[in-house]
Each structure stands twice: as structure tokens, then as C-alpha cells.
């Protein structure tokens, strides 16, 4: 399962990242740094990043791509389809749909809290792209419904996957406000910021691995309460580093290249 999203970074730059969901974290797979502000980037930028990710992921893997409302462009959806990926992306309540020659919008359905509506094999947008599945979910505690577009078969399946999209928010917060303070950087050159991302992502992966090791090796009671754990793997890793520095204990760091080294992905 991979998640895509963007966030402001540096000065007048946007970090667009595709991450792999692991437990409650989203681990960075590949990214682009472009000039601009948080908002809708061109589809060609989304497609460029998807193609980078497709070169990294094994061809035989089943991939489910998750994105919010910025990532519902039909060119992007077709690219995902061509890659053999499944996708679940949020879309607008007023998106134009076509069913048996009739055009309508989700808002025409007189939706109410508690509704779950499954619209299989509909044409999507004025281009009538598809057929796709459009799912409408309105939980009673929400102010408005959630509308999803997917190439999966069932609403329940699409919604179950989409609920894990928010894992990527933890990655951005760890990169910015809770970890490496990337949002405070004044770097405005995209190439320089991209190189900084290499360093912070390697550090992020190392800290997550430290957190996993601390839990699996039974060391967690040394830094946290023994009866329960309410820390993330990233938080555990950060606190283990602090513990080792305070106690004068060694910290092992090892990054191994795959056999033959890394291949270029453009």
C-alpha cells in the first residue's frame, strides 16, 4: 500500500512524496521537490512521481495507491491503471458521473448522514473515464460526505484502504514539527532541498528501525512505562538515542546498499 501527498517545505517549495504504509507509519519511497505552495500541483508532476515509484517497486507486487482530492485526475488514474495498480482517491461531491447515459452528481442523490452508497461501473468526470467505482460514505459524526473513486470492486474494500491514507501525515509531522524541523528550513533551491531530504529520510528510516529493535529486543522498559506503550516507533527511536547518549551507550548505524548498488530512477 502506497500513499501520496504533498507538504510545504523550505522556502516556497513543495515536497511531493510517495510512502509505503508500515504499521502506523508511512515510510518514504520516493519524492519530488518543486517550486510552489501547498495546493494542486499539475498532473504531470503526480505522474512523474508515480513512474519513479513504479521503477522501484517489484513488478509482481500488488499495489494499492491512496490519495486525497488532489489526486483524482483522469490522466493520473489511467497511469495507475497502466501500471497494474489498484487505487482509491478522494474526489469532489460535485464531480460529474455517468450511468447508463445519464449524467448526475453525488449531490443530486439527496445524501444524509449515515448513508453508504456504492456506484459501480460509472463514467468519471465529463470525460466519462472508466468504468470506475464511486463510493459515497457519510458517517454520522461528519459534516459532509466522503466521495471516493476507485478501480476496486466494493465500497467496503475501498473505504477500508482509504482510512489508512492518513498515515502519511505522521511522516510529514516527523519531518517538520516533531522531528527534523524541515518546515523551518530557509532553503529555496529545490536541488539543495532534495539533497537534504535524502539525509532526513535516511535518518527517519534509521530511527524507525531503532524503534522496532527496542520493542523486539525488550529494551522498551528502559525508556518507557512497562505496562503499556503509547509512543510511536519514531518517538521510541528518538528517545532511545537520547537514552544512549545520556548513558554513554553505543549507537549502531549501518546502511547497506543492495547488491550492485542503487539503480537510477530518473
Q: What tens digit of pLDDT does each residue of 213-238 get?
A: 999 999 999 999 888 888 888 889 99
Same domain as 121, residue 21: yes
Question: Rounded to an integer, what distance in angstroms lies between the CA atom of residue 106 and that of residue 97?
Answer: 8
What is the pLDDT, as a whole number, of residue 188? 86
Question: Rounded to an integer, what distance in angstroms lies between the CA atom of residue 216 and that of residue 204?
Answer: 18
CATH number at residue 137: 3.90.350.10
What is the pLDDT, as a whole number, of residue 258? 60
Residue 37 lies in a domain: yes
What is the pLDDT, as a whole number, of residue 225? 85
Question: Rounded to an integer, what distance in angstroms lies between the CA atom of residue 211 and that of residue 203?
Answer: 12
Residue with cell 517550486: 35
Same domain as 26, residue 140: yes
Residue with cell 460509472: 122
Residue 208 lies in a domain: yes
What is the pLDDT, as a whole number, of residue 260? 56
Same domain as 208, residue 86: no
Instruction: Point out the residues of the chain with pLDDT beneath 50.
Output: 262, 264-266
Q: Which of 152, 169, 149 lies closest to 64 in space, CA to CA?
A: 152
Same domain as 224, residue 158: no
Same domain as 188, residue 99: no
| Domain end marker among 172, 194, 210 | 172
Same domain as 84, residue 64: yes
Cβ(176)–Cβ(182) below 8 Å: yes
Domain count within the chain = 2
Same domain as 167, residue 188: no
Model-level pTM? 0.85
Same domain as 158, residue 50: yes
Neighbours of 12 (CB within 10 A): 11
Range(s) of the domain holding residue 226: 184-247
DSSP track, 195-222:
HHHHHHHHHHHHHHHHHHHHHHTT-GGG
Question: Rounded to an integer, what distance in angstroms lies between the CA atom of residue 135 and that of residue 140?
Answer: 16
Helix (H) or strand (E) holding 49: helix 43-56
Question: Rounded to an integer, what distance in angstroms lies between the CA atom of residue 75 and that of residue 94?
Answer: 19
Same domain as 144, residue 34: yes
Amino acid at each position: 500500500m502506497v500513499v501520496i501527498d504533498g507538504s510545504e517545505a523550505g522556502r516556497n517549495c513543495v515536497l511531493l512524496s510517495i510512502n509505503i504504509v508500515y504499521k502506523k507509519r508511512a515510510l518514504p519511497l520516493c519524492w519530488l521537490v518543486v517550486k510552489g505552495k501547498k495546493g494542486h500541483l499539475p498532473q504531470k508532476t503526480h505522474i512523474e512521481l508515480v513512474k519513479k515509484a513504479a521503477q522501484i517497486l517489484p513488478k509482481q507486487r500488488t499495489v494499492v495507491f491512496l490519495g486525497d482530492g488532489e489526486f483524482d485526475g483522469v490522466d493520473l488514474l489511467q497511469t495507475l491503471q497502466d501500471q497494474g495498480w489498484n487505487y482509491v482517491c478522494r474526489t469532489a461531491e460535485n464531480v460529474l458521473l455517468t450511468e447508463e447515459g445519464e449524467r448526475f452528481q453525488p449531490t443530486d442523490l439527496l445524501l444524509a448522514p449515515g448513508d453508504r452508497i456504492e456506484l459501480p461501473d460509472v463514467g468519471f468526470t465529463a470525460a466519462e473515464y472508466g468504468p470506475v467505482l464511486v463510493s459515497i460514505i457519510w458517517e454520522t459524526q461528519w459534516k459532509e460526505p466522503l466521495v471516493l473513486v476507485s478501480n476496486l470492486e466494493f465500497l467496503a474494500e475501498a473505504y477500508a484502504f482509504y482510512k489508512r491514507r492518513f498515515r502519511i501525515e505522521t511522516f510529514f509531522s516527523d519531518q517538520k514539527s516533531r522531528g527534523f524541523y524541515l518546515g523551518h528550513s530557509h532553503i529555496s533551491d529545490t536541488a539543495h532541498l532534495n539533497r537534504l531530504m535524502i539525509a532526513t529520510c535516511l535518518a527517519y528510516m534509521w530511527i524507525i528501525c531503532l524503534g522496532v529493535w527496542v520493542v523486539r529486543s525488550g529494551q522498551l522498559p528502559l525508556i518507557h512505562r512497562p505496562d503499556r506503550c503509547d509512543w510511536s516507533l519514531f518517538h521510541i527511536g528518538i528517545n532511545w538515542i537520547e537514552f544512549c547518549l545520556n548513558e554513554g551507550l553505543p549507537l549502531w548505524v549501518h546502511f547497506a546498499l543492495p547488491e550492485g548498488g542503487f539503480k537510477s530512477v530518473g
